[in-house]
Chain A
Amino acid sequence: MTALVIRGGHLIDPAAGVDSLKDILLKDGRVAEIAAPGKLKQANGAVGPELQIIDATGLTIAPGLVDIHVHLREPGQGYKETIATGTAAAAAGGFTSVAAMPNTRPVNDSPEITRWMQAPERGATIRVFPIAAATRGSKGETINDYAALKSAGAVAVTDDGSPILKDSIMRETLAAAARVGLSVIQHAEDTRLTQGASMNAGPVAFKLGLRGMPTEAESGIVERDIRLVTELRDTRVHLHVAHTSTAAALLAVRQARRSGLRVTCEVAPHHFLLTEEHVGLYNTNAKMNPPLRSAADRDAMIEAILDGVVDAIATDHAPHAIHEKEVEFEHAPNGITGLETALGLSLRWLHKEWKMPLGRVLSLLSAQPAALLGLKGRGTLAVGSFADVVIFDPKAEWTYRARDTKSKSRNTPFDGWTMQGKVRWTISEGRIAYDSAS
């Protein structure tokens, strides 16, 4: 039996409606007791070598963060990231659960790979939830065996990066996933409209001489998918729109929700903070897909987050080796890292700058994404939940340095940015996964 007491901290657990000073006892990987300061019953008699005490005076205690969109690159691309390094970066960022996308080499379209990713040999410091490919090889043609994938541990299906364009296949995917209770995540991009494009279509792309991705490439697929969900008339169907970047796509999600459909969406920090102007003069660390959009689209992301239309903040952590990004802009791979900067940026901008209550910001980073993918016992610190905790100094301002990253890659546009909220400890199922002092 191992036990851990967190004392003196301010607990914010939005899902449980807690926002006050609390002591917490973690035991056997679960939350065993929560009490007013100094009032823990079970801990009183148990002082000994097996009881570890964390002094969280002046710090905020919250449910460990949940990122439902990361690329851990294993199997197949360990030079960019491994499950061990990716989860170490996640823990440093306050995350205790990540959902890993299936665009690995080979594509995770089988129960074997799904289990391989969760095996202890991978060295994950926090919990990894695989998201399996929706179709074989993510080629958009043959539906995978979702029941088998689910029992192997997959929490959703997607062909992320290779969106399902055929209406019939997408309809079948939505229906089949609903039958086994899995969500379908769509990277909404009509790739017929984005051939050879490397940034948002618009005046900046024109000026830089780059081919642009029109916003319709995203919103068109979101609208198509919502139409398919409507036609299926099955309340179990859950469509989740990944990394929403356009005002038009958000509008479609808003309307779908108003019609009572189970359609959710996530927004990445770079899409609520940056615009196409941040591409500057061909900064490949500002190249990702979907691309940075116009200021109007970015403002729509902020509005939708503040309004509650957005269900989750997800990073789309997409590590790439330095040499892959040191090339001509149009040849550079899409994606940026994000696990270590999501909390610091969210607190710095959503909370401090745009006055979103701390509890709501944390909810977007934990309770809501956990609920969205049905991760039971995650995203909350109610008694009986997993002992997934982040302890951070909410007031601390610090500067992010990409060279200090725990990730194998450092392709971030946020190098040198001011962050707010410094993670002190991250605890995953009762074990300390990150300690800023060590």
Chain B
Amino acid sequence: MNPAATPARRQIHPPPAPASPFPYNPGSLLSASDLSLDGIGHILARAAALENQDPLTRARILAKRRVALLFYESSTRTRTSFELAAKALGADTTLVSSLSSSIEKGETLKDTGLTLRALGAEAIILRHNSSGAAWLLEAETRLPVLNAGDGMHEHPTQALLDLRTILAHLDPTTKTCHPERAKRVEGSASSLHEITAETLAGVTVSITGDILHSRVARSNMLLLPRLGAHVVLCGPKELLPEIAAHVGPGISIERNFETALRQSQAVMMLRIQAERLAGLQLDLEQYKADYQLTGQRLAAQAPEAIVMHPGPIIRGLEVTAGVADGVQSVILEQVRNGVAIRMAVVERALLPGNKQGDRA
């Protein structure tokens, strides 16, 4: 098909792509791939330490510092946990959402960002419906920007909280996950698990559902394999193109849900993002028949695995209510871990002197 596939008769050395200038600000967290393994370890350690710290002491860390939450999409978990996290460290927060601001009048992201900076915002937490919006905002404001989800692209704090959840259930000696191991994280998570390229060696995490439109999937695909995990993507072709396996190392595709489940220590289910289907027709009954996580499937294929979901859950579609509420579900633990991770990430944004999150 492709004539370029025939061996080139000439040696062609084309101009290379330029190196990325991002992140401009060392406090930014734009992509899960921005963090070094040490940086990931520091964030996990700080999350654990901050979670266990006396709330009054903790509230002095960022006392009266200004953090803006800029949300162009609706959000329950991410917005609330970022807000609670910033407030827990003593920061003043302000929420700007697209429906109650000048964004409605046509103000651009650049102008909104510059306005927030002029108002004294020292960091901006951005949720946006366009992929790459966090990069644009960082380039224009040069402030620490925390990417709280950009279009179909990335959601790095979700990947970090997912990692924290997996580690809390991981037996470091047998490298298996146990739903029962839902310990209150005491002390530092990183004292239990040193963060290295081997931390998740032997662990398989399956991600099933609407991978194509999922920023959670992309951030997890970039983060988890760096710690040695094998990520198995599962779903129909319409929602999981073959090219997904090329995002990075340690990623494979399995179309059969049962086969994917059998390999998994952690089972991550995703919502079908109806708002991003863009005309794609999907037979939901067929989808449920093939990919719904039911109690029966779970018991038969992955009785020891933890069941994860970034939310919002559509009960009765990607998971049954019984599984969502079942003993293997760690979905609400993920939500709780979100606050701890976001405390660490907000702290890192505003205290660049503390080298908690060294760049990759």
Contacts and interface: CB of A to CB of B under 8 A. Distances in A.
Partners in one complex: yes
Nearest to A292: B17
B14 A298 contact: yes
B226 interface: no
Interface in A251-301: 251, 254, 273-275, 277-278, 280-282, 295-300
B4 A300 contact: yes
Given A209-B218, A280-B20, A299 B4 contact: yes
Interface string A153-176: 000000000000000000000000
A206 B240 CA distance: 10
Nearest to A272: B14
A163 to B, nearest CB: 20
Given A195-B279, A327-B109, A328-B136, A275 B243 contact: no
A250 interface: yes
Contacts of B130: 328-331
A281 B22 contact: yes
A308 to B, nearest CB: 13
B246 interface: yes
Given A247-B2, A326-B110, A282 B18 contact: no
B218 A207 contact: yes
B244 interface: yes
A248 interface: yes
Contacts of B110: 326-327
A18 interface: no
Contacts of A326: 108, 110, 136, 140
A203 B246 contact: yes
Contacts of A323: 108
B25 to A, nearest CB: 14
Contacts of B278: 195-196, 211
B17 A251 contact: no
A353 interface: yes
Contacts of B1: 248
Contact of A278 (B3, B10, B18): B18
B135 A281 contact: yes
Contacts of A297: 4
Contacts of A251: 3
A328 B109 contact: yes
A202 B243 contact: yes
Interface in A291-331: 295-300, 302-303, 306, 323, 326-331
Contacts of B109: 327-328
B154 interface: yes
B131 interface: yes
Interface in A126-154: none
Contact of B17 (A277, A296, A327): A277
B4 A210 contact: no
A275 B12 CA distance: 14
A398 interface: no
A275 B132 contact: no
Given A196-B278, A206-B241, A250-B3, A306 B131 contact: no
Interface in B184-224: 212, 215, 218
A296 to B, nearest CB: 4
A295 B131 CA distance: 23
Contacts of A417: 15
A331 to B, nearest CB: 7
A116 interface: no
A363 B200 CA distance: 59
Interface of A: 195-196, 202-203, 206-211, 247-248, 250-251, 254, 273-275, 277-278, 280-282, 295-300, 302-303, 306, 323, 326-331, 349, 353-354, 417
> 4 closest A-B pairs (Cβ-Cβ)?
A209-B153, A282-B132, A209-B152, A328-B130
22 contacts: A203-B243, A206-B241, A206-B247, A207-B218, A209-B215, A247-B4, A248-B2, A275-B14, A275-B17, A277-B17, A278-B17, A297-B4, A299-B12, A300-B3, A302-B14, A303-B3, A303-B9, A303-B10, A327-B108, A327-B110, A329-B130, A330-B151
Interface of B: 1-5, 8-10, 12-15, 17-18, 20, 22, 108-110, 128, 130-133, 135-136, 140, 150-154, 212, 215, 218, 241, 243-244, 246-247, 278-279
